Structure formats: C-alpha cells, structure tokens
Amino acid sequence: MKFVDEARIHVKAGDGGKGCVAFRREKFVPRGGPSGGDGGRGGDVVLLADARLTTLLDFQFRPRHFAKAGQAGMGSDCNGRSSDPLELHLPVGTVVWDEETGEQLADLDGPAARVVVARGGRGGRGNMNFATATRQAPHFAQPGEPGEERRLRLELKLLADVGLVGLPNAGKSTFVAHVSRARPKIADYPFTTLVPCLGVVAYKDGRSFVVADLPGLIEGAHAGAGLGHEFLRHVERCRILVHLVDCSSAGRSPAEDLATVDREIALHSPELAKRPQIVVGNKIDLPEGRAGFAKLRRALSRRGIDALPVSAATGDGLSAVLDRAAAVLFGGAA
C-alpha cells in the first residue's frame, strides 16, 4: 500500500431540517391549531483515530466528505429525525489543521482519540412553537441552520519510540531489518528508502518497542533539499534518536556527517535536538569502517559522548544499541 502522510480534505456537516407548517385536521376539532414539528439536527463530521490504518491514501482520492442533513419536521406534532454523525477514520498520529486559519484543531495521538471538526446545523422550529393567544394560527416556520464547513489539512506523524536518522546509505534500513521483522528496501545507492518504515523490536522479558527507519537527511533538508525534509515531522514523536554514521565513506569525516544531520534536526525543531541521542558508528566489518569509527570515537570523546560500534550487515554490536535504547525507554539514561 502506498504511504501517504499528508492530505487536504473538504468536510461539511449536515444542514438542519426545516420546520413544518401544518394544522390539525380532525373530526369534531374545527379549530385544531398548528401542529408542525421541528426539523432534525444535521449530522456532525467526526474524526476518529484507528490503529488499523497506517496511511492517508484514501483521502487523496476522496477529498470531499458531506454529512447527511436532518429530516424536515412533519405534521401531527412530529419532529424530524436527526442524522447520524459522519465518522472518518484516520491513522493514529494524525494532526488536523484548519487550512484557512492555520489553527491546529486536534492531534489524534491515541487509539481512542476523537474530535468533532464540523457541527451539524440545528433543525428549524415548526409552527406549533409560535402559537400565542393573539397569533393562534401561525403560517410560518423556521428553516434549518446550515452545517459547518471546513477545509482541513491532515498531517500524519508516525508514532515510534526510536527514530533512526542519518545521511543516505548509512545503513538504517539494514539496521531495522536485522532487529525486527520489517523488510524495508535495501540497496547500495542513496535514497533507497522513500517512505518511513516501522519495525517492532521484541526486547527481553516480553518488552518491545517500535523503531522507525526514516529516509536519509542531507544538508539543507530543513529548507526542502533532498527527500528527508518531507519526513522530518515523523522524527518529532520519537522518544530517542539513534544516529547511524557511515564510518566507511572515503573522503568524508564521520564527525562532520554527524554534525550535518544534527544541525538539520536542530534547524527543524530546537526541541527535537534536545531528545536523548545514541550515536552509532556503522560498517565496522570493513577495514575502512573500523578506521573511521576510531576517528569518530576520538572526536566525540572530547565532548563526553560515547559512540557505539556496530555492523548492521552482520549484526555485531546491535544488542548493545538495543540495551542502551531500552535503558532510556524503560527507565534509565543513555
């Protein structure tokens, strides 16, 4: 299924039913009086978080959603039926924005999250409500109120405990494939990962956590360069960042690569830059990778940061990374 993390939709709640103008017509009741009932209320538009959904794809092809109008009032003092709400199911983690005002209306960050984004119009009152001692036969009723109408922007931010960040081809997809049952696309060219991929890590003692493989960031990503800028929003919900650095790249400094991605994250969100981060030097199974990791460790030791060596291809060192992530997630410090 295609991954879509942003969509724009138009929603309209149902109009209220109009009130009825009617009079009693019964045998032996020559002046029965008004008997027009009220119109029913229009249906609301409700957004619900659904844990079974993972994409906003459906809303790209169906951008317009209209709730039903309330039923009109009837004679014999009968009110019209109110319409049921129109429920739209969205993936957990969807943020809802008003397209016109830019206001955030809701953040559906839990499976039970629910929000009414457009309220149905009230039904009009029938003529039985307007009878008085001096106006005993009103020949008018109220029309129903129109339902609210909005243009919304839906933005999906994945819910993950650990987010893997790094430059293209740093080995993030290989890392996720090795520690979980997720099977992201893996190849030896940049930007292999075009969409985020989630994997569940089965940790010790029956505990588990979710790891997100995020597309590679490059310099200028916060301003729209490359592919990573489209997915920086998915990092915002991660509790820990695992920064994979390719230590085997010839002609590049692993410490500079680390600084480049850290700078892009800070420019995107200063708050995100304060999250716990685990620095991991990847590809130590190669001679140039071991040499590059030694340089990275020396550079970080001056700042009091301890980098972990791994080989995502062979699995060496991955358990130490998972242990450190679990220590932060389940109580501890990295």
Convert the pLDDT of each residue in 12-27 to its tens digit: 999 999 999 999 888 8
What pLDDT score does 148 carry?
96
268 confidence band (pLDDT: 50, 70, 90): confident
What the block records as the tokens of 200 is 């569940």
Least confident of 59-68, 171-180, 196-205: 196-205
Q: Which residues of 36-63 are buried (b: 16+ CB within 10 A; e: fewer)?
A: bbbbbbbbbbbbbbbeebbbbeebeeee
pLDDT at 5 > cutoff 90: no
222 confidence band (pLDDT: 50, 70, 90): very low
Q: What does the pLDDT average to over 39-64? A: 91
What pLDDT score does 46 carry?
97
Percent of the chain with pLDDT over 90: 36
pLDDT per residue over 165-194, tens digit each? 888 878 888 888 888 876 655 545 444 445
pLDDT at 282 > cutoff 60: yes
What pLDDT score does 53 carry?
84
Cα-based torsion angle of the residue sequence 96, 98, 102, 106 in order, rounded to the nearest 10 degrees: -30
pLDDT at 334 > cutoff 80: no
Q: What is the C-alpha separation between 74 and 77, in angstroms, rounded?
A: 7
Burial class, 298, CB count within 10 angstroms (exposed 0-12 / middle 13-18 / buried 19+):
exposed
**Please, are residues 182 and 202 in contact by the beta-carbon 8 Å criterion?**
no
Domain covering 6-156 in this structure, CATH number = 2.70.210.12
pLDDT at 314 > cutoff 80: yes
Nearest Cα residue to 18 out of 121, 139, 169, 111: 121
Q: What sections of the chain are H helices per DSSP?
A: 57-61, 172-179, 232-235, 254-268, 287-301, 318-329
What pLDDT score does 8 carry?
94
CATH number 3.20.20.140 given to 162-329:
no
What pLDDT score does 219 carry?
57
pLDDT at 230 > cutoff 80: no
- Over the chain, what is the mean pLDDT? 84
Do 6-156 and 162-329 share a fold? no
What the block records as the tokens of 131 is 């009878």
**Please, are residues 71 and 39 in contact by the beta-carbon 8 Å criterion?**
yes
What are the sequence ranges of the domains in the chain?
A: 6-156, 162-329
Higher pLDDT, 228 or 95: 95
DSSP state of 29: B
Least confident of 11-20, 40-49, 139-148, 203-212: 203-212
Higher pLDDT, 56 or 228: 56
pLDDT at 42 > cutoff 80: yes
pLDDT at 4 > cutoff 80: no
Q: Which long-range contacts (CB under 8 A, 24 or more apart) does 260-264 make?
A: 260/167, 260/217, 260/218, 260/219, 261/165, 261/166, 261/167, 261/217, 263/219, 264/217, 264/218, 264/219, 264/220, 264/221, 264/222, 264/228, 264/232
List the beta bridge partners of residue 153.
Answer: 8, 97
What pLDDT score does 20 carry?
96
pLDDT per residue over 102-120, tens digit each? 999 999 988 889 999 999 9
DSSP state of 146: P
Q: What does the pLDDT average to over 316-326? A: 90
pLDDT at 80 > cutoff 80: yes
Q: What is the C-alpha separation between 72 and 17, in angstroms, rounded?
A: 4
Higher pLDDT, 91 or 195: 91
